[in-house]
Amino acid sequence: MDGCASGSAAGRVRFGLSGGTACAAKEAHIRLEEPDFSVTFDHARNHWTASWKWRDGKSPDVLKNVVQEYPPAKDVRREYEEELKLWVKQGWLVPYDERKHGPAKGLIPLMAVVQRRKNKVRPVMDFRELNGYIEAYTAHADVCADKMRQWRRQGMNLAMVDLNKAYLQIHVDESLWPYQTVMFKGRKYCLTRLGFGLNVAPLVMTTVLNHVLSLDPVVRKGTSAYIDDILINEDVVEARRVQRHLANHGLTCKAPEQIAEGTRVLGLRVWGERGRLDWARGSEIPSLPNRLTRRTVFSYCGELIGHFPVCGWLRVAAALAKRKANEDTTGWDDPIERPELVGILSEIAARVRAHDPARGRWDVAGKEGRIWVDASGLAIGVAVEIRGSVVEDATWLRPDDARHINMAELDAAIRGLNLALAWGLKSVELMTDSATVERWVSEAITGNARLKTKAAGEMLIRRRIGTILAPMEEYDLQLSVTLVKSEENRADSLTRVPCAWLKPREEVPPVCALAVGVDIKRKVAEIHHRAGHPGVRRTHYFVRRSDPAVTRRQVPSVVASCETCRTIEPAPVRWKRGSLSVDRVWQRLAMDVTHCGGLSYLMLIDSGPLRFTVWRPLKHHSSADVVEQLETVFYERGAPEEILADNDTAFRSREFAQLVAKWNVRLRFRAVYTPSGNGIVERCHRTIKVIVARKRCSVAEAVHLYNVTPRDGQCPATAPANGVYAYKVRLWNVAPPAQEGESEGNPYKVGDDVWMKPPGARCDAQYRKGTVTKIISEQAVEVGSIPHHVRDLRHRGPSAHSTRQAAAERGRERWPVMLLPTGADVTIDRSSTVTPVMVPTPTSARVDAPEGAIVEEGSTSLTPEETAVRRSDRVRRSRRCLCCD
């Protein structure tokens, strides 16, 4: 609101740059209109009255809050109530009169805020719900950092004036009292003054104070205000005159304090010494919290840094501590138990107490300065130096996926220029320890040579260089660059931390915590079962209700080892996604049998870079026809090293196995119930069918169009047909079989007991037992000679039921029963029986039936004497054709 007031014939006065309007009537009242509030001054009563404006012009019918008070701590309860009694005595809180003001429309909760620096307890109100109906326009609000830079350039003969209970000097319009009711000692009161916590309160206070100071031209020239604090340049106006001027316009203030004699300015302690003004931390150094959570760590680091202009190494140290707190926790109140972070915070606290870096020179003068910039793998730092003193510094942590270091050095230079412009510097010397950045910026300023770089981000580098040069023209800035050694760079400490903080320390396993850990796991497992086997978050919720000391880190291992959760709708697992493509042509063929237009086709497609496809019609969907057509393709085009197929019965036959063995082709089956395991052929036959349906052509024509179409849509060389025979044909009786490589990334091993997902399983289906017999790839394994995807398997641990069953069956071998003829009798009576003979089979090829499976009667073994051959008693006749023979 700084500026001059101008009148008009209508009696309206416009004042200040923000467009506020002052309305004068009989020289008794002043009215200031803003988009979010209005303020009126009554000369007769000598006080200001504020009235906020509702969002969209609509006031709420009633606020929903029913909480009367957030109870304060016992040790501050007495001071809190005495302060509220003072408010009632002063008339700031008055009993609410429903007959005069109507029913109350809002209840504001009371709470206590302890000001440790002043040893006071301040009652404040929770205006969060009410603030939701008031829209505050803060575009032109003062920023503390900008105001501090202005004040530091005012010289040394300064004084501070602070308003006495500033907000409580502003009255609130009586029509708004029903929205500011509180409960105290069982009685309803309403707040008649501007409340601390209302979103428009700082704007109201700033507008009123700036307007009052502008009414006197001399006072306006020699003062600068920030909310309720006023800095006075006594070379222009005396502090007593400002104090009297404020009192004449309804604002009372405390006695002026000379800054040179020591006082607080914007939360800093400022004093004069040896012809200069110095500043330091305005409060005691905070103590490290006893219980570390993300909330307490952020609060502690915030108190260490605050809004201090210079903090040196403490900035990057506090930022790193907050980043590690985020990594160790998921919620604001989760406890932090990692010894690394505890050690970092303890070391920070010790270093700050030994030498607090939050200090420096207060008074700043001159338009020339230096900008020290630096970047590291952890952070970028900037320091502003004017007349040999660092007046402000800043640090920004770099993300984990940050760009090249030279790019970070340029970012630091840009941020440094931003600070230089904020200080109003006209001549800046950029100090950097990067020879590359020094060369780039110097050549760009002088124009001696163009930018030379082969980096992948060349355009990003050019854009940053242009950003550095832009202020030279727009702000008439003189810029020069100087290369310095890293140890001489004053911004170097802003980007460095001890190496031990960045290296994870090896945790020593506790020796005496084994029994405690077992008890905790047993308790978590019991609660997990009683709660219905929920996930980690909900299990932790129920466990915390029983034992608040259990942390979230102790729950996942119990939930992950639960056999019930593994067998019924288990949680999804992650696996390493692979690629079906190969590098060489005709190295691997993807094969499938598909149907189109009522006919069956054997489909083959090259998994190499060509994707050449071959479709052969089948008379019948049988193994013989598939083998016949596939071998024809082998004779025409040669055999591949590998064939990838699904689990069709035609591909599982003995004839098919003999064919691939004859041609030394490795046959690989995709995992069952996982079509994506052969995704190349699935996408191909979908494309062919779409062409047939849209063009209404034959399958052969659609295959031809597919093979002659370039894959990139432009280059003919990418068409599958143009690469035919661009490979070395393998000879079936000469070429050796291809060797299958080992898969090291598979989470299972041969012999592992697993739970298998049954086909067509629903959410309540029980998984079946099995044993891994072969590792196929990183995504698939064989269980009982059937390939399965790893996402359909879960590790199976020993359970109490399986242990008892194994003990009961110890000493007895279970073998599958196979019926074989053992006699040589020619004829036998129809009533004869067949004796089952015990034939042992290897256990590796056996898949256990699920628990509780029904065993049919009559499966008991018979004695060898009862064994006989079953033959038909009909008369055997030779088969011949009467028409031909």
Q: Residue 184: give the domain boundaries.
A: 74-277
Q: Would residue 608 count as lying in a domain?
A: yes
Query: Given a cut of 90, is residue 573 above it in pLDDT?
Result: no
List the one residue out of 430, 298, 271 whose CA is nearest residue 360: 271
Helix spans in 482-602 (H): 499-502, 514-530, 536-546, 556-560, 563-567
Strand partners, 231: 160, 224
- CA gyration radius, the chain: 42
Q: How far apart are CA 828 and CA 867, in angstroms?
A: 12
Closest by CA position to 64, among listed 134, 130, 112: 130
**pLDDT (0 to 100) of residue 845:** 42
Give the model confidence (pLDDT) of 348-357 as tens digits: 999 999 999 9
What tokens appear for 490 in the block?
């004053």
Helix (H) or strand (E) run with residue 389 in it: strand 389-397
Find out whether 553 and 338 touch, Cβ atoms under 8 Å. no
pLDDT score, position 829: 45
- Poorest-confidence range of 391-405, 448-462, 696-710, 764-778? 448-462
**Same domain for 345 and 200:** no
Task: Name the more confident of 18 and 75.
Answer: 75
Sign of CA dihedral 732, 733, 735, 738: positive
**Of the given ranges (59-68, 301-310, 735-744), which has the lowest mean pLDDT?**
735-744
The pLDDT value given to residue 804: 52
HSE, CB side, 13 Å, CA atoms: give it for residue 425.
25
Last-in-domain residue among 309, 325, 359: 359
- Could you count the other beta carbons within 10 Å of the beta carbon of residue 735? 16
Question: How far is 646 from 463, CA to CA, in rounded Å?
Answer: 53
Q: In CATH, what number is assigned to the domain containing residue 456?
A: 3.30.420.10
* Sign for the pseudo-dihedral over CA of 564, 568, 574, 580: positive
Q: Give the count of beta carbons closer than 10 Å to the beta carbon of residue 62.
A: 12
Does 9 have pLDDT greater than 80? Answer: no
Q: Which residues touch 139 (CB under 8 Å, ≥6 apart)?
A: none
What mean pLDDT comes out for the span 335-342?
A: 88
| pTM confidence score | 0.55
Same domain for 706 and 775? no
Is the residue at 19 inside a domain? no
- How many other C-beta atoms are found inside a 10 Å radius of the C-beta of residue 668? 18
∠ CA(291), CA(296), CA(298), 5° rounding?
Answer: 145
pLDDT > 80? residue 6: no
pLDDT of 240:
93
DSSP string, 726-787: -SPPPPTTTSPPPPPPP----S--TT-EEEEPPTT--TTPPPEEEEEEEE-SSSEEEETTEE
Same domain, 488 and 534: no
**Token couple for 220:** 């306006």
- Give dist(CA 49, CA 622) in Å, integer: 95
Mean pLDDT in residue range 693-703 = 91
pLDDT score, position 816:
53
777: how many CB neighbours lie within 10 A of its CB? 20
In this prediction, residue 820 carries a pLDDT of 53
**Averaged pLDDT for residues 241-263:** 92
Q: Are residues 481 and 608 in the same domain?
A: no
Residue 83 sits in the same domain as residue 206: yes
Sheet-wide strand order for 257-258: 223-226, 229-233, 158-162, 257-258
393 and 493 fall within a common domain:
yes
pLDDT of residue 504: 63
For residue 550, pLDDT beyond 90: no
| Statement to judge: residues 124 and 265 lie in one domain | yes
Sheet holding 276-281, edge to edge: 263-265, 268-273, 276-281, 359-361
pLDDT beyond 80 at 858: no
Using CB atoms within 10 Å of the CB of residue 694, give its burial: 0 to 12 exposed, 13 to 18 middle, 19+ buried: exposed
pLDDT of residue 843: 43
Distances (CA, A) of 298 to 267, 309, 814: 19, 19, 64
Cβ–Cβ under 8 Å, residues 704 and 693: no
Residue 597 lies in a domain: yes
In terms of Cα–Cα distance, which of 656, 655, 638 is closest to 646? 656
Positive or negative CA dihedral for 562, 563, 567, 573? positive
CATH number of the domain where residue 255 is located: 3.30.70.270
Residue 872 covered by a domain: yes
Please tell me whether residues 153 and 242 are part of one structural domain: yes
Name the percent of the chain lying above pLDDT 70: 83
**Distance between CA atoms of 106 and 188, rounded to whole angstroms?**
11
**Per residue in 759-816, pLDDT tens?**
888 887 888 999 999 888 888 889 988 899 888 899 888 755 555 555 554 444 444 5
Residues 6+ apart with CB under 8 A from 670: 644, 645, 646, 647, 677, 678, 780, 787
Render 247-284 in DSSP notation, one character per residue. HTTT--BPPPEEGGG-EEETTEEEEEETTEEEEEESSP
Size of the chain in residues: 885
Q: How confident is the model at residue 448 (pLDDT cuts 50, 70, 90)?
A: confident
| Confidence (pLDDT) at 320 | 94
Segment 633-646 mean pLDDT? 90
Q: What is the pLDDT of residues 81-112, one digit of tens each?
A: 999 999 999 999 999 999 999 999 999 999 99
Judge if 244 and 337 occupy the same domain. no
Calculate the average pLDDT of the chain: 83
Could you tell me if 257 and 299 lie in one domain?
A: no
pLDDT of residue 505: 54
Q: How far apart are CA 412 and CA 433, in angstroms?
A: 12
Of 142 and 390, more confident: 390
- Residue among 17, 239, 13, 54 nearest 142 (CA): 17
pLDDT at 209: 94
- Would strands 427-432 and 478-483 be described as parallel, antiparallel, or unpaired? parallel
Q: Is 165 left (phi over 0), alpha (psi -120 to 50) or beta?
A: left
Phi first, then psi, for residue 775 (nearest 5°) are -100, 120
| 29 lies in some domain | no
227-231 contacts, C-beta under 8 A, 24 or more apart: 227/142, 227/166, 227/202, 228/162, 228/163, 228/166, 228/167, 229/160, 229/161, 229/162, 229/163, 229/265, 229/266, 230/160, 230/161, 230/162, 230/163, 231/151, 231/154, 231/158, 231/159, 231/160, 231/265
- How many structural domains are present in the chain? 7
CA pair distance 334, 544, nearest whole angstrom: 12
Q: Which of 306, 325, 359 is a domain's end point?
A: 359
* Residue 28: pLDDT band with limits 50, 70, 90: low
Give the model's pLDDT for residue 811. 47
Inside any domain, residue 797:
yes
Q: Is the dihedral of CA 289, 291, 292, 296 positive or negative?
A: negative
Report which of residues 854 and 124 the model is more confident about.
124
Structure tokens at 25: 């009537």
pLDDT, one tens digit per residue, over 47-85 is 999 999 999 888 999 999 999 999 998 888 999 999 999
More confident residue, 370 or 726: 370
What order do you get walking across the sheet with 642-645 strand by strand? Answer: 613-618, 599-606, 588-596, 642-645, 666-669
Does residue 624 surpass a pLDDT of 60? yes
Same domain, 108 and 225: yes
Residue 52 in any domain: the answer is no
Question: Which segments of 65-105 does DSSP mark as H helices, in order?
Answer: 77-90, 98-101
Question: Whole-angstrom Cα distance, residue 855 to residue 590?
Answer: 41
Residue 885 has pLDDT above 70, yes or no: no
Q: Which comes out higher in pLDDT, residue 736 or 23? A: 736
What are the residues whose beta carbons fall under 8 Å from the beta carbon of 363, sequence distance 6 or more? 152, 153, 155, 156, 276, 277
Q: How much is the average pLDDT of 712-729? A: 73
The predicted pLDDT at position 802 comes to: 53
pLDDT digits (tens, 9 = 90+) for 480-517: 999 999 999 999 999 999 988 887 655 555 554 433 35
- Flag whether pLDDT at 324 surpasses 50: yes
Pairing of strands 5-6, 12-15: antiparallel
Q: Would you say the C-alpha torsion 379, 385, 389, 394 has a positive or negative sign?
A: negative
pLDDT band at 818 (very low <50, low <70, confident <90, very high): low
Mean pLDDT score, 599-608? 91
- For residues 294 and 387, membership in a common domain is answered with no
117 residue type, one letter = R
Residue 861 lies in a domain: no
Q: What is the pLDDT of residue 707?
A: 86
In this model, does residue 878 exceed pLDDT 80?
no
Q: pLDDT band for position 665 (50/70/90)?
A: very high
Asked if 628 and 682 touch (Cβ cutoff 8 Å), the reply is no
The pLDDT of residue 189? 94
